[in-house]
């Protein structure tokens, strides 16, 4: 039982076979999201099932089984065993729960919450009312969101001659924008962690490292299955328009910001669907994105974009990037009256 992305690495032979042959492999999980790459960057097809069914698929060893007509396995005497033969009845489940799940279990466990974890209790921690930030921490880092902030509302900034960082299609989820699962060993975030002396086995997940903006900025649009129409390959890459170079989305964003270029994103329908993840708005902000132009938005994500100062614009009903023949190679200007000019 693990949380998103913490299922560990696949055996090297499997990992190599999937990557080399561009295979579509599946996972079965009892979570609440089955987005691409969440269980593992190399599992494209993820199916939701009840916990007992997850165990059943594990016993079968494959996902393309028909439990009604195919045996889940074979007994020691060679007899085929079907799922319905080992599936417990409701009465059997209730009997086990009644026998073993008792109030004493919870009372005993929670009565020692503050004392039983010796390693946690012996950690040396500074005291005081204000947290002492450590610049070298790869888990918790002082984010730049409040730097220079004042009580005065700043003037609305014009978006002028902005480049398109990425051109997406429909159903770009918050998992595509800000992955919460396994940190791929080939990702920009992984390379940064290695530069800080973190071994691959200690990468953990984006969800666990969401307290570090330096990791999360590099993890933005880092989903290995994301499709950016500006390039002809699946993955977290884009075309840096001024130079024509194909770079990771993070590296391209850094190059744009260093040159003083503003950025926008273009998307299709339901941009930002899925978990209402704050980093799906914070990450693009750190990458220099000033506006998103989409056909429609998930409501909470649209609010999160506004909260981070990113302008969410919508195409007029019936129009899209395709209808306007946008390729992402154009420049975009949005004046203070939100009139959009494309060149």
Q: Which domains does the chain have, with CATH numbers?
A: 12-100 (3.30.499.10), 159-178+220-342 (3.20.19.10)
**Is the pLDDT confidence value at 226 over 80?**
yes
What was the pLDDT predicted at 8? 74
pLDDT band at 104 (very low <50, low <70, confident <90, very high): very high
Q: Are 67 and 83 in contact (CB under 8 A)?
A: yes
Q: What is the pLDDT of residue 310?
A: 95
pLDDT, one tens digit per residue, over 287-340 is: 999 999 999 999 999 999 999 999 999 999 999 999 999 999 999 999 876 667
The confidence score (pLDDT) of residue 176 equals: 92
Label residue 297 exposed, middle or buried (CB < 10 Å: 0-12, 13-18, 19+): buried
83, 85, 90, 91: CA torsion to nearest 10 = -160
What is the model's pLDDT at position 86? 93
Element (H, E) at 291: strand 289-294
124 contacts: CB under 8 Å, gap ≥ 6: none
**What's the CA gap between 328 and 264, in Å, rounded?**
10
- For residue 139, which of 67, 195, 71, 193 has the smallest C-alpha distance? 193
Model pLDDT for residues 144-164, shown as the tens digit of each residue: 998 888 888 878 788 999 999
Averaged pLDDT, 47-62: 93
Matching residue, tokens 């799922």: 83
| pTM given for the model | 0.83
- What CA–CA distance (Å, rounded) separates 40 from 184? 8
Query: What average pLDDT does the chain have?
Result: 91
Q: What are 4-36's pLDDT values in tens digits?
A: 666 777 888 998 999 899 898 999 998 888 877
């Amino acid at each position: 039982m693990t949380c998103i992305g913490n299922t560990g690495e696949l055996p090297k032979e499997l990992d190599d076979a999937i990557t080399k042959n561009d295979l579509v492999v599946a996972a079965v999980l009892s979570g609440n999201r089955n987005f691409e790459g969440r269980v593992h960057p190399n599992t494209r097809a993820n199916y939701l099932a009840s916990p007992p069914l997850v165990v059943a698929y594990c016993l079968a060893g494959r996902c393309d089984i028909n439990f009604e007509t195919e045996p889940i396995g074979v007994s020691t005497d060679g007899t085929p065993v079907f799922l319905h033969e080992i599936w417990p009845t409701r009465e059997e489940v209730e009997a086990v729960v009644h026998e073993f799940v008792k109030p004493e279990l919870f009372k005993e466990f929670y009565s020692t919450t503050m004392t039983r974890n010796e390693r946690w209790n012996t950690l040396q921690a500074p005291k005081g009312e204000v947290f002492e930030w450590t610049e070298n921490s790869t888990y918790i880092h002082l984010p730049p969101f409040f730097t220079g902030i004042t009580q005065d509302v700043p003037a609305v900034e014009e978006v002028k001659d902005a480049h398109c960082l990425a051109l997406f299609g429909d159903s770009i989820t918050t998992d595509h924008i800000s992955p919460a699962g396994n940190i791929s060993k080939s990702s920009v975030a992984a390379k940064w962690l290695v530069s800080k002396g973190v071994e691959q086995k200690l990468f953990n997940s984006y969800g666990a490292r969401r307290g570090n903006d330096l990791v999360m900025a590099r993890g933005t649009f880092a989903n290995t299955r994301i499709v950016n129409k500006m390039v002809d390959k699946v993955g977290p890459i884009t075309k840096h328009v001024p130079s024509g170079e194909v770079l990771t989305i993070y590296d391209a964003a850094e190059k744009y910001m260093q040159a003083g270029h503003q950025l926008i994103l273009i998307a299709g329908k339901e941009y930002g669907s899925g978990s209402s993840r704050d980093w799906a708005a914070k990450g693009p902000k750190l990458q220099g994105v000033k506006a998103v132009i989409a056909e429609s938005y998930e409501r909470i994500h649209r609010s999160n974009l506004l909260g981070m100062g990113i302008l969410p614009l919508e195409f007029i009903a019936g129009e899209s990037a395709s209808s306007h023949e946008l390729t992402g190679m154009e420049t975009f200007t949005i004046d203070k009256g939100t009139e959009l000019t494309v060149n």
